[in-house]
Amino acid sequence: TERTLVLVKPDGVSRGLTGAILARVEAKGYRLAALEQLTPGRELLAEHYAEHEGKPFYEPLLEFMASGPVVAAIFEGERVIEAFRSLAGATDPTVAAPGTIRGDFGRDWGLKVQQNLVHGSDSPESAEREIAIWFSA
Ligand code: ATP
C-alpha cells in the first residue's frame, strides 16, 4: 500500500491541534503506521527541504521548523498521498477551502505562510525519501 509522511508543524503542535489533525486523517480511513515527536535539527530540515534551497523563504522556513516540536506520522492506504493533500488544503491558509485543515485552523499569509500547520508528501518517491529522513532510527 501507498504511504505518506505527514508533519504537524510547530504552529500546529504548539496550538494543541495535533490530535484534531491526526483524527481527521484516521477518520477518513487511513491507517496510522508510525508516530513520533521531535524538534528537528538544521541538518534534517536541510535534507527535507532541499528542493527549496536558495528561495527567499528557505531560511525563515528552516528557522520556523526548528523552533519547536514537530509531530511526524506515517499514514498508509490506497491513494493516501493525494487524499492527505486534499485534506490539508491550499498552501496559503487564508484562502484554503473551509473544511480543510489549513482552511479551518489557519489564517497566516505572506511570509508567514510557512505557519500552515501541516506538510504532506507530494509523490510516492518523495514520501519514501521523506520517511527515510524523519524515521531513520
Ligand atoms: P507542504 O510541502 O509543506 O505540504 P506545499 O506543498 O503546499 O506545502 P511547497 O511549495 O512545497 O508547499 O512549500 C513548502 C513549504 O514552504 C510550505 O508548506 C510553506 O510552509 C513554505 N512556503 C512555501 N511558499 C512560501 C512563501 N512564498 N513564503 C513563505 N513560506 C513558503
Half-sphere exposure of 72 (CA within 13 A, CB side): 21
How high is the pLDDT of residue 137?
Answer: 61
Total count of domains within the chain: 1
Q: Who's near 83: CB < 8 A, 6+ residues apart? A: 28, 30, 77
Q: What is the pTM of this model?
A: 0.95
Ligand 1 site, residue 119, Cβ cutoff 6 A: yes
Beta strand 3-8 pairing with 70-76: antiparallel
Task: Provide the strand spans (E) within 30-131.
Answer: 31-38, 70-76, 118-120
ipTM: 0.88
CATH of the domain at 24: 3.30.70.141
Q: Estimate to the nearest angstrom the gap between the alpha carbon of 79 and the chain centroid.
A: 17
Ligand 1 site, residue 115, Cβ cutoff 6 A: no
How high is the pLDDT of residue 21?
Answer: 98
Containing structural domain, residue 9: 3-134
Q: Are 37 and 68 in contact (CB under 8 A)?
A: no
Tens-digit pLDDT string for the chain (137 aa): 999 999 999 999 999 999 999 999 999 999 999 999 999 999 999 999 999 999 999 999 999 999 999 999 999 999 999 999 999 999 999 999 999 999 999 999 998 999 999 999 999 999 999 999 999 86
Say how many Å lie between the CA of residue 52 and the centre of ligand 1.
Answer: 9
Ligand 1 site, residue 120, Cβ cutoff 6 A: yes
Say how many Å lie between the CA of residue 31 and the centre of ligand 1.
Answer: 25
For residue 112, the ligand 1 atom closest to its alpha carbon is 29
Cell reading at 43: 541538518
Among 74, 119, 120, 127, the one annotated catalytic: 119
How high is the pLDDT of residue 111?
Answer: 86
Residue 49 CB burial class (10 angstroms; 0-12, 13-18, ≥19): middle
Residue 48: active-site member: no
For residue 114, the ligand 1 atom closest to its alpha carbon is 20
